Amino acid sequence: MNRRFFIRSGGVALASFGLMSATPSFLQRVVLGQTREGSAGGRRKTLIAIFQRGAVDGLNMVVPHGERAYYDLRPSIAVARPQPGNDESALDLDGFFGLHPSLRSFKPLWDSKRLAIVHAAGSPDNTRSHFDAQDYMESATPGVKSTADGWLNRYLQSKPDRERSLFRAVSLTQTMPRVLQGKAPTLAISNLADFNIRAGQSSASVQGGFEAIYGQAVNDVLAGTGKETFEAVNYLKKVNPAQYQPENGAQYPRTPFGNSLLQIAQLIKAGVGLEIAFTDVGGWDTHVNEGNARGQLGNLLQQFSNGIAALYTDLGRRMDDVVILTMSEFGRTARENGNLGTDHGHANAMFVLGNSVRGGKVYGQWPGLKSEQLYEGRDLALTTDFRDVFGEIAGRHLGTSNLQSVFPGYASSAAKFRGFLE
Partner 1 sequence: MKYGHRQGAFPLARTTGVLLVTVALLSAGIIGGRAQNSAAAKSRSDHSKSRLTEDQRVLHVLNRLGFGARPGDVAHVKAIGPDSYIEQQLHPEKINDAVAEAKVRDLATLKMTTAELYEKYPQPGQLLRQLERRGELPAELGATRRDRRSKDEAPASQPNAGAVMEMPATPPATPEVTKKKEQKASDTADPRDNQKYRQAIRQYYMENGLQPPQRISAELQASRILRAVYSERQLEEVMVDFWTNHFNVFAGKGADRWLLVSYDRDTIRPNAMGKFSDLLLATAESPAMLFYLDNFQSVSPTAQLGVGNRGQGGPLAQMLMGERIIARRQLRMTNNPEQQRPQQQARRGINENYARELMELHTLGVDGGYTQKDVQEVARCFTGWTIFAPRGAGAAAQAIMDGPRAERLRENAGRFFFNPRAHDDGEKVVLGQKIPAGGGMKDGLVVLDILAHHPATARFIATKLVRHFVADEAPAGLVDRVAAAFSKSDGDISATLRAIFFSPEFNSQQAYRAKVKRPFELTISAIRTLGGETNGGPQLHQWIARMGEPLYGFQTPNGYSDTAESWVNAGGLLERLNFGLMLASNRIPGTRVDLHQFLSSDGQAPDKIMERFLNLIVAGDIAPKTKEVLMKQLNEQTALIVPAMTRETLSTNQSLSGDEFETQRPQRQGQQPARAGATITDPVTKIVGLILGSPEFQRQ
Query: Is-contact 25 238, C-beta < 8 A?
Result: no
Distances (CA, A) of 129 to 49, 179, 331, 345: 22, 17, 12, 10
- Report the residue number, 314 or 392, with the smaller CB distance to partner 1: 314
Does position 232 interact with partner 1 (CB under 8 A)? The reply is: yes
Of these, 31, 80, 104, 173, which contacts partner 1 (CB under 8 A)? Answer: 173
Of residues 382-421, which lie at the interface with partner 1 (CB under 8 A)? none
Closest CA to 27 of 232, 212, 214, 185: 232
Does position 31 interact with partner 1 (CB under 8 A)? The reply is: no
- Report the residue number, 93 or 140, with the smaller CB distance to partner 1: 140
Does position 370 interact with partner 1 (CB under 8 A)? The reply is: no
Does position 164 interact with partner 1 (CB under 8 A)? The reply is: no
Q: What is the contact mask toward partner 1 in residues 136 to 155, using x (rule: CB under 8 A)?
A: ---------xxxx-------
Of these, 20, 31, 69, 176, which contacts partner 1 (CB under 8 A)? Answer: 176
- Report the residue number, 2 or 39, with the smaller CB distance to partner 1: 2
Q: How many whole angstroms separate alpha carbon 276 and alpha carbon 325? A: 11
Query: Is-contact 419 363, C-beta < 8 A?
Result: yes
Backbone angle region of 364, left / alpha / beta, with phi > 0 → left and psi within -120 to 50 → alpha: left
Closest contact distance (angstroms) between CB of 180 and partner 1 is: 12
Of residues 58-87, which lie at the interface with partner 1 (CB under 8 A)? 76
Query: Is-contact 407 124, C-beta < 8 A?
Result: no
Could you tell me which stretch among 105-113, 187-195, 382-390, 400-408 binds partner 1 (CB under 8 A)? 187-195
Of residues 234-263, which lie at the interface with partner 1 (CB under 8 A)? 242, 254-260, 263
Of these, 34, 190, 234, 405, which contacts partner 1 (CB under 8 A)? Answer: 190
Does position 88 interact with partner 1 (CB under 8 A)? The reply is: no
Of these, 218, 269, 271, 416, which contacts partner 1 (CB under 8 A)? Answer: 218
Of these, 159, 343, 408, 416, which contacts partner 1 (CB under 8 A)? Answer: 343
Query: Is-contact 398 159, C-beta < 8 A?
Result: yes
Closest contact distance (angstroms) between CB of 78 and partner 1 is: 13
Of these, 174, 365, 401, 413, which contacts partner 1 (CB under 8 A)? Answer: 174
Closest contact distance (angstroms) between CB of 249 and partner 1 is: 20
- Report the residue number, 242 or 415, with the smaller CB distance to partner 1: 242
Does position 28 interact with partner 1 (CB under 8 A)? The reply is: no
Closest CA to 348 of 111, 120, 193: 120
Of these, 71, 210, 244, 366, which contacts partner 1 (CB under 8 A)? Answer: 210
